Amino acid sequence: MNTQIEAMLESIRQMEHDIEWELKRIREGLKVDFEASKVRFEHEVLAQQKRFKMGVFNYIFNANIKSFLAAPLIYAVFFPMVLLDLFVWVYQWVCFPLFGLARVVRSDYFVFDRVHLGYLNIIEKINCAYCSYGNGLMAYAREVVGQTEQYWCPIKHARKVLHAHPYYLGFADFGDAKGYQTQLEMLNARLAALKADIQKDEAPPSKPPKPPAA
Instruction: Say whether pLDDT at 116 is over 60.
Output: yes
Average pLDDT over residues 183-208: 69
Q: Return the closest-CA partner of residue 1 out of 194, 198, 189.
A: 189
Q: Where are the domains of the chain?
A: 31-200
Q: Is the pLDDT of residue 123 over 50?
A: yes
**H-run or E-run covering 173:** none
State residue 36's pLDDT score.
47
Q: What is the pLDDT of residues 46-100, one digit of tens each?
A: 666 666 666 666 766 777 788 778 888 999 999 999 999 999 999 999 999 998 8
Q: What is the pLDDT of residues 158-185, one digit of tens each?
A: 998 888 888 888 888 898 888 888 888 8
- Full-model pTM: 0.69
